[in-house]
Copies of this chain bind each other. A is one copy, B any other.
Amino acid sequence: MVLGNKKTTTAKLRSAAFKRVRADHSAELAGDYVEMIADLIDERGEARCTDIAMRLGVANATVVKTLKRLTDQGLVTQEPYRAIFLTGEGWKMADDSRRKHVIVENFLLALGVCADTARIDSEGIEHHVSADTLKAMARFVNRNSKL
């Protein structure tokens, strides 16, 4: 069954990419939330439900439900009718996310994409960029945008 095994191996390699994409998607929302909460805290001292809902463009109830999941995951803390805070874990993820976001966005700008597009595309791309690719992007930014 040599050919059979080869086929299986190829299939596994192939499917790995899709598995990664699906995993990225589950992590994605959490990343967006904590990043946004961190931004709101930095900008105005606290993060409220309504602000998150507005910025994400979803209904308030959706935010409430998602925050419950994030609380269960240990990323966020909150008390009823009060503002939202990040746990240590949450801050770590938020900082990671922001760092990545900045690199991707600057990279797109350095590549010659216009500011609006860079902002929009980076939002989608940032969650699918591996450490290697991120490094390559950072390298490119350093070489190409400081002249």
Contacts and interface: CB of A to CB of B under 8 A. Distances in A.
Interface residues of A, number: 41
Contacts of A58: 18
A120 interface: yes
How many chain copies does the complex carry? Answer: 2
Contact of A140 (B16, B57, B111, B120): B111
A56 interface: yes
Contacts of A137: 111
A111 B12 CA distance: 26
Interface of A: 11-12, 14-21, 24-25, 32, 54-58, 108, 111-114, 117-121, 123-125, 127-130, 132-133, 136-137, 139-140
